Amino acid sequence: MITFPVTIALALLAEHLVPLVLGPRWVGAVVFVQIVALRVLCGSLLSVPRASLLGRGHVTELLRLSFFGLAVCAIGWALGLAWGPIGIAWGSLAGIAALAVASVWIATSELGIAIRDWSRALVPAVVGAAAMALGIYAVLTWLRDVVPASESLIVVLALGVGVLTFGLALASLVVIPSSRRRLGIALSAAVLVLFAVDWALFEVAGLGERLRLEDATLARSKILLASRYRDARVLHLGDSRTVTGLDPVVVSATCECGPGYNAAFSAADPVLTSIVADRVLHVLSPRAVVIGVSQWWLQDRTEQNFGAARDIVPPWELGRLIGVPEVRDVLSSTIAAAWRVYRYRSELRTTLGLARPLPSESVDHRRGYLARPYEMRTAEATVERDAAFLKTLWFTPYAVVGRRSAALLELLEHLHDRQIRVLLVGLPLHPAVRGRVPVELARFGDALVRLATEGHASVDDLSADDSFAPHDFRDVVHLSVAGAEKLSRQVGARLRTVVTAADALQ
């Protein structure tokens, strides 16, 4: 009864407790503490079957069980050896879990105790631990974003809420068993109230259009901002290079094809961009889409930090974006998909005055970017160093096939099905980078043309365009204000040709 909640609480709070108790040098031990906690939890399931077998005189079965445990643990250690200490720890946990299952199975068959009876005995501990886990998780995710507090206070608050939810869960099962039905009705009513609050705030009151943004370059901010620019006829997609490099006002003025909205965001890749584009297209009805394609978009090796993606990506899409998701990622994604109050908790915090946003008067929300009029003043040696690093990061090795290329093609086909004209723009690079990767840029250009052909899109590859000089950049990949205006005019002129040709065919 006590082991379950204690071990679950330790596993959830290890990331915060270890630095507080042992110091920051022990941060690397967090995952081991979590594994040990789960191992203790599995080990607690062994005590009753072992004691029962020993009490009934089944010494032989107990001995066989011990040998089985030794064997599965050894196998787990051997399998995890390739991953070092962390692999051995996980292998040990897997072995103990297998031993716990085998112990319960042998005990039920030898002692004539049904699995249902075992399960019934575990219900209070499991339900209480689950309630405690939800309480702690709620504090670590929702409350800590709303209420500014120190790490130690957050831990104390999480433990307090966890103990409270554990006690309430036990009370519902043990103290007042006759009220379970009423409790179920009350919980259902509470869930309905939460959804009603969500609907009233975002659908009736239109809160989404009034929230203050903590950071206008985030993906969820772009989804929120879309409802404020329903007049947009040109939609811009891409990563931070598109945010800084394409000014929708300049593009629209040049192409004369209606207002624009820049839905590009930091750390965007084709997979996440496709998901965000689908959400934005529920609000906007553009006639044309400009996709700024960074060179790293066409290969899968470059890693990005998708930590915030769990708030906008539905749980069934997480695996497509980050591989095998953690349980907390799936849980956070599920809650965020169902409840916008949770999804936009940071924006709510900013709106309530608990966080300081970027000054709203200095950020162009249609672009999501604060344009500062400065030029690159980095030393030549630093530029060369950054260019060499970028070559390693983006182009070594450089394969233009994979899940990201497939996701970009899927996005193009989706836009074509909606009869939206698409222009793919290969974004320009600093001359120091261009000179280092001519073969890779040629491969990128060929792949871009192939994707445009298969996806029924137009293409304008500027990645090797030598008209972009060093003074057009503020670093080796992002354009300066002057460089962004130059790119925006070129893209606007090309887009006017695309839209005019499309109109002539209709």
Q: Which helix (H) or strand (E) holds 77?
A: helix 59-80
For residue 361, what pLDDT is reported?
43
pLDDT score of 5 more than 90:
no
Higher pLDDT, 434 or 342: 434
CB of 103 within 8 A of CB of 65?
yes
Alpha-carbon gap, residue 123 to 176, rounded angstroms: 15
Percent of the chain at pLDDT exceeding 90: 22
Return the domain boundaries, the chain: 2-209, 219-309+365-504
Q: What is the CATH code of the structural domain delimited by 219-309+365-504?
A: 3.40.50.1110
Per-residue pLDDT band for 450 (boundaries 50, 70, 90) equals very high
Provide mean pLDDT across the span 26-41.
84
Largest CA distance in the chain: 90
% of the chain residues with pLDDT over 70: 78
Give the pLDDT mean for 140-167.
70
Q: Which residues contact 344 (CB under 8 A, 6 or more apart)?
A: 208, 211, 220, 224
pLDDT of residue 360: 45
What pLDDT shows up at residue 458?
94
- C-alpha 472/C-alpha 470 separation (Å) is 5
Q: How far apart are CA 441 and CA 451, in angstroms?
A: 15
- Count of CA atoms in the C-beta half-sphere (13 A) of 42: 20
* Span 367-416, pLDDT tens digits: 666 555 544 555 566 788 888 888 888 888 887 778 889 999 999 999 99
- In this prediction, residue 422 carries a pLDDT of 95
Burial class (CB in 10 A: 0-12, 13-18, 19+), 166: buried
SS (H, E, C) 349-384: HHHCCCCCCCCHHHCECCCCECCCCCCCCCCHHHHH
HEC secondary structure over 158-185: HHHHHHHHHHHHHHHHHHCHHHHHHHHH
Choose the weakest-confidence range: 222-231, 325-334, 437-446. Answer: 325-334
- pLDDT exceeds 60 at position 114: yes
Please give the model's pTM, rounded to 2 decimal places.
Answer: 0.64
More confident residue, 340 or 53: 340
Q: Which residue has the tokens 């699995």?
A: 115
Residue with tokens 């839209």: 499
pLDDT tens digits, 128-142: 788 888 888 777 766
Over 80: is that where the pLDDT of 331 sits?
A: no
